């Protein structure tokens, strides 16, 4: 039996850069999987305007994760959900995590984008959401890098 390949770092949006809905979004995404010569699966998290909204608005956490839920619901065993939160909105993050992990079957927390959402990985709020992810027994995907560093050497 062929082992599946699982890519855990896929950002998706059903909205194009112009804000219009991508009509064949799911079909096009599944076409990528179908064309692969391996048994490829994706763990998907929201992207585009969803990310920007999550950085500014606690209500956007549910909106972005619901888009992912609707997507993975239509492609079981091919697409899996990754829950995007913002620890700056701790109560809403914990509420959305409960929905994603307890009801919707998401398999990962993240991508944790502290540089884009203006939080610190070593803050009390971030520690709280990571500890909650441990309780749910899901991995945490953190994006680290030096590209956004403003310190000159």
Q: Is the peptide bond before 111 cis (omega within 30 degrees of 0)?
A: yes
Architecture of domain 4-142 in this structure:
Alpha-Beta Barrel (3.20)
Rg from Cα positions in the chain:
16
Q: What is the dihedral of CA 77, 80, 27, 96, to 10 degrees?
A: 140
Mean pLDDT over each residue of the chain, to the nearest integer: 93
DSSP string, 76-130: TTTEEEEE---GGGHHHHHHHHHIIIIIS---EEEEE-HHHHT--TTSHHHHHHH
pLDDT at position 153: 47
In this prediction, the residues of the chain whose per-residue pLDDT falls under 50 are 152-153
pLDDT at 146: 63
Q: So what's the pLDDT on residue 2?
A: 82
What was the pLDDT predicted at 25? 95
The pLDDT assigned to 6 comes to 95
Contact of 44 with 52, CB cutoff 8 Å: no
């Amino acid at each position: 039996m062929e082992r599946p390949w699982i890519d855990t770092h896929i950002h998706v949006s059903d909205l194009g850069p112009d804000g219009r809905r991508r009509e064949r979004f799911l079909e096009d995404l599944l076409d990528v999987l179908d064309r692969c010569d391996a048994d490829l699966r994706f763990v998907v998290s929201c992207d585009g305007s969803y990310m920007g909204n999550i950085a500014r608005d606690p209500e956007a956490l549910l909106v972005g994760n619901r888009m992912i839920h609707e997507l993975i619901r239509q492609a079981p065993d091919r697409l899996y959900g990754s829950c995007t939160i913002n620890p700056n909105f701790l109560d809403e993050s914990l509420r959305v995590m409960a929905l994603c992990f307890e009801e919707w079957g998401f398999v990962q927390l993240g991508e944790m984008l502290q540089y884009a959402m203006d939080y610190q990985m070593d803050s009390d709020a971030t520690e709280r959401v990571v500890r909650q992810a441990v309780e749910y027994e899901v991995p945490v995907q953190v994006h680290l890098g030096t590209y956004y560093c403003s310190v000159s050497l």
